[in-house]
Amino acid sequence: MVFFHVLFVSNLLVVASKQVVISNVLPRLDTNGSYVDAHDGCLVKFDNTYFLYGTVYGKCHQSTTICDAVCGYLNNTFALYTSTDLVNWTFISNNVVPEVTKDNNHINYWMPNVGYNTRAKQYVMIYWSSRYGFQNSIVALAVSSTPFGPFVNVAPLEMQGGKVISSTTGLFVDDDNTAYVRYNTRDSPLRHVIEKLSPDWMTSTGQFSIIFQKQDYPWFEGGGVFKRKGVYYTMLSTDCCFCQWGADARTFTSTDVLGNWTYIGQLNYCADGKAPPDHVDGMTVNPCSISDPYGTNFTIPAQQFNVATLSISSQETLYMYYGERFRSSADGIKGHDFQAWIPIEFTDNDIPKPMKFYANFTINIQEEHM
């Protein structure tokens, strides 16, 4: 049930509060009744509309407990859906970067992240491409004059904090509209780096900070960066390649995005309450059940790709873990896999709490109508 509460009316602008229920157990459908097929990307708000950008996984079936280099790898495009309430989603496009269809039969595309550059007055997308990933320090870049696209590729970014970028890239836009790219490296030591972009976001400034590094394989993968009350946060996790058990959330903070980062704790424990081991032998190992990939999963059985920072009212910002629950669809179709949207909660001392899996949670969305 949805409830409305009118807050005020001024100059024909009506601001109302709408209580909505977000589900992690019911399929997310668009207004046409079709599955929302937009994965591993970002959820952002531009003006009064929420934009969901993600990879189209399609109707293939994953053949193993982890990735098979076919399903979810080939023929990917980038989709866009919009909503005013985070529940009712309108399909806009399943190909907002048309150029990827030229070679997506053999080039892998994932993780579209979009931000708005207020100085350049354009929307900027970074994304992961096997044209660059695992080969060099390049990150793909595309731009559009509107958030609806189409996004057109421009000269890619050349990052300075590593020689070879590994498996994840993400975009973080600070309060002053300065943009940063967070990525992990394949060259030793294995590092997670956050790197500052130029004011037009078209090049790197060469300024970067190492969030974390380790000498041994497997590397950690990473979720989103977010900022709350002047503190920056990011979560790193064990490598999980389309696995159904998920990954942890080792959380790091800093008061200076280009300064020193400090590990503060684990936010995603195993479902039995135990902490995952500090090291596993590879991405085929379930950290919560070393000898059984179908054993205990993580509390949030998902691989994290982002944190959505969403202004849901003039007084409240929602910080929401954003991950993929691989092999979770009832029909086995990869494009129908569930996402995990989990609100990040904090103690009275502003310390993030270990996450809980919510089948459903309720929020109040502020809407404006003329």
Q: Which pLDDT score, from 0 to 100, does residue 296 have?
A: 97
pLDDT confidence band for 69 (50 / 70 / 90) = confident
Q: Which pLDDT score, from 0 to 100, does residue 3 have?
A: 40
Max Cα–Cα distance, the chain, nearest Å: 64
Q: Which pLDDT score, from 0 to 100, does residue 5 have?
A: 40
pTM of structure: 0.94
Asked: is 3-369 a CATH 2.130.10.30 domain? The reply is: no
pLDDT confidence band for 12 (50 / 70 / 90) = low
pLDDT confidence band for 366 (50 / 70 / 90) = confident
pLDDT confidence band for 257 (50 / 70 / 90) = very high
Per-residue pLDDT reduced to its tens digit, 101-120: 999 999 999 999 999 999 99
Mean pLDDT of the chain: 93
On the question of pLDDT at 2 being above 80, the answer is no
pLDDT confidence band for 10 (50 / 70 / 90) = very low
Helix/strand/coil for 70: coil
Helix/strand/coil for 131: coil
Residue 86 has which token pair? 């985070």
On the question of pLDDT at 368 being above 80, the answer is no
Q: Which pLDDT score, from 0 to 100, does residue 13 have?
A: 54
Out of 51-55, 96-100, 236-240, pick the least confident: 236-240
For residues 138 and 114, the answer to whether their CB atoms sit within 8 Å is: no
Report whether the peptide linkage leading into residue 27 is cis, meaning its omega lies within 30 degrees of zero.
no
Mean pLDDT of 263-271: 97
Q: Residue 338: which of 326, 355, 351 has the closest Cα?
A: 326
Domain locations along the chain: 3-369
Q: Residue 287: which of 236, 247, 241 has the closest Cα?
A: 247
pLDDT confidence band for 281 (50 / 70 / 90) = confident
Length of the chain equals 370
Per-residue pLDDT reduced to its tens digit, 123-154: 999 999 999 999 999 999 999 999 999 999 99
Residue 129 has which token pair? 């491409």
Helix/strand/coil for 326: coil
